[in-house]
Amino acid sequence: MGFLNDVPRIQEASQPSKVFRDWARRFLSDPAALAPLAEIRSQAEYDDWHRRWCDGLGRYWAHEAGKPLPWGPSRKMPNLLMKGMLLDWRSEAWDNRAALRIAKWAHVPLDKYTLAAIQGEVADRDAKGKLRRVIPSRATMGWVADQMIYSRIQRAIRDVCHEAGIYPIQFDAFYDIAH
């Protein structure tokens, strides 16, 4: 009998896009969830808000899907939602000034293309002082397993974009077009 009680939960778990869409709909339809975006004034404030936002998806996912959401996708999916919101910056959900401000700080949704593009910018020195790439050649978002490496990659993207005079979200759009 216990198994029968778990059948709907098992079916939901096999539909990750439904869990994400439900979470996204709740976020977009809740003015209290969107309000903090208008108050953000720095990269550090955005990063802190972003971490809490993504952790919220992780908690929602675990509850609704009955299993944890891997760390990398728990960042990529909200970043894709934010990217969509920024592309639709004239949406009713935003104050246009807030959207333009957030565009400067939004995180890039990491995938194999963006990771390959930034690979040479994220390196460590080995014991002999030789530079060693941190990102493997065929890395995907699943490879990004914690906040430390995620933040390091986002920082490298911001640094490259600053030098190029573009926003990180424009970096992402370029790689969307390129593949």
Q: Rounded to two decimals, what is the model's pTM?
A: 0.82
Between 87 and 118, name the one with better pLDDT: 118
- Residue 158 has, within 13 A of its CA and on its CB side, a CA count of 14
pLDDT reported for residue 16: 84
pLDDT reported for residue 6: 41
Q: Report whether pLDDT(5) > 80.
A: no
List the one residue out of 48, 33, 158, 38 whose CA is nearest residue 101: 38
| Average pLDDT, rounded, for the chain | 83
Beta bridge partners of 124: 132
List the one residue out of 32, 34, 25, 40 whose CA is nearest residue 103: 40
Between 174 and 144, name the one with better pLDDT: 144
pLDDT band, residue 41 (cuts 50/70/90): very high
pLDDT band, residue 51 (cuts 50/70/90): very high
Taking each continuous run of H as one helix and of E as one strand, the counts in the chain are: 9, 2
Separation in Å, CA 153 to CA 13, 85, 116, 126, 168: 30, 22, 11, 19, 11
Least confident of 33-37, 52-56, 104-108: 33-37
CB-based burial, 107-130: b 16+ in 10 Å, e otherwise? bbbbbbebbbbbbebbeeeeeeee
Please answer whether residues 134 and 122 qualify as being in contact, where contact means their C-beta atoms are separated by less than 8 angstroms.
yes
pLDDT reported for residue 177: 63
